[in-house]
A = this chain, B = another copy of it.
Amino acid sequence: MRNKNSGFPHSDQHYKREILYIIKIGGNVIDNEKSLHGFLETFASIDHKKILVHGGGKIATSLGDKLGIVSHYIDGRRITDDATIDLVTMVYGGLVNKKIVTTLQALHCNAIGISGADANALPAKKRPVKSIDYGWVGDINKENIDPSIWQILLENKLVPVVAPLTHDNAGHMLNTNADKVASVLAAALAGTYVVQLIYCFEKNGVLNDANDGDSALAYLDMNTYRQLKENKKLFAGIIPKIDNAMDAVRNNVQTVIIGNSDFLVQLINGEGGTQIRL
């Protein structure tokens, strides 16, 4: 367990900038109505500026199956053809985003759903075709994100709920990994707010041993990360998440935590999850 006063914002008297929580939830929470509701209750109660970034969940795949849209993956990334970008726009930008927004509104949290096209919030470049054509996939970087639109929303006490969709400024929605959206958005806003980035998923953090769910590390730095990778101790899917988390730390995001969505209160209080360091 980490010391509560080790760099968490409530112990930091040096900043005049306000605290902003950026919290990312993944598919496992979204697919479970009870988990989602409990999570959103905690999220709604956070008494700071906040942004929720959500992934997609399994519903895009199951709906795609019903519609005869076959999902193709390369290296864990969905290949986004014409039918798939429409599918994820409907599911991520429509169904999932609005389910979260309506639930938060019922919890007296003034949520506003945002895709990357809305208010030009997340401009992106379609990924160039090299050996693989990923289709309608967007690459984003912090330099292209204008903090002012986010400030307008946040300063007016609105709570952005962000679908993992970006756009190319040429009329096309693009599919972008939700962990990446959270990382880049946190980096883009780190000059304006004291950003606390929390990645929530189904495990207690980065595990020292992939087979032991109780082996979450309190901290993970680059050295330990390298060792875990060399010893093949890391479970599938965690590596890109850690890379996104490390990128955020490198870009002046004050605190980056990876932890269990069932324990959001503890993650916020610095009493759980794995804190990512360089």
Q: How large is the interface on A (under 10, 10 to 19, 20 to 34, 35 or more residues)?
A: 35 or more
Does A272 interact with chain B (Cβ within 8 Å)?
no
Contact of A105 with B117 in the complex, beta carbons under 8 Å: yes
Residues of B within 8 A of A158 (CB): 119, 152
Closest Cβ of chain B to A122, distance in Å, is 11
| Bound-complex Cα distance A156 to B152 (A) | 8
Does A277 interact with chain B (Cβ within 8 Å)?
no
| Bound-complex Cα distance A112 to B95 (A) | 17
Contact of A110 among B90, B120, B156 (CB under 8 A): B120
Does A77 interact with chain B (Cβ within 8 Å)?
no
Contact of B105 with A120 in the complex, beta carbons under 8 Å: yes
Contact of A93 among B94, B103, B167, B171 (CB under 8 A): B94
Q: Give 1 or 0 for each of A91-110: 1 = CB within 8 Å of chain B CB.
A: 11111011101110110001
Does A172 interact with chain B (Cβ within 8 Å)?
yes
Does A194 interact with chain B (Cβ within 8 Å)?
no
| Bound-complex Cα distance A170 to B106 (A) | 5
| Bound-complex Cα distance A167 to B112 (A) | 13
Contact of A101 with B118 in the complex, beta carbons under 8 Å: yes
| Bound-complex Cα distance A130 to B177 (A) | 46
Contact of B94 with A172 in the complex, beta carbons under 8 Å: no
| Bound-complex Cα distance A169 to B156 (A) | 20
Q: Give 1 or 0 for each of A200-212: 1 = CB within 8 Å of chain B CB.
A: 0000000000000
| Bound-complex Cα distance A226 to B169 (A) | 48
Does A267 interact with chain B (Cβ within 8 Å)?
no
Residues of A contacting B: mostly: helix
Which of A90, A115, A167, A172 gathers most chain B CB within 10 Å?
A90
- Given A152-B152, A158-B119, CB of A98 within 8 Å of CB of B89: yes
Q: Give 1 or 0 for each of A160-172: 1 = CB within 8 Å of chain B CB.
A: 0000010101111
Residues of B within 8 A of A63 (CB): 67
Contact of B89 with A117 in the complex, beta carbons under 8 Å: no
Q: Which of A123-182 contact B (CB under 8 A)?
A: 152, 156, 158, 165, 167, 169-173
Contact of A113 among B95, B102, B113 (CB under 8 A): B113
Residues of B within 8 A of A114 (CB): 112
Contact of A105 with B169 in the complex, beta carbons under 8 Å: yes
Residues of B within 8 A of A111 (CB): 117-119
- Given A67-B67, A167-B105, CB of A98 within 8 Å of CB of B115: yes
Residues of A whose CB lies within 8 Å of any CB of B are: 63, 66-68, 86, 89-95, 97-99, 101-103, 105-106, 110-115, 117-120, 152, 156, 158, 165, 167, 169-173
What are 5 inter-chain pairs, A to B, with CB distance below 8 A? A98-B173, A102-B171, A105-B171, A106-B169, A113-B118
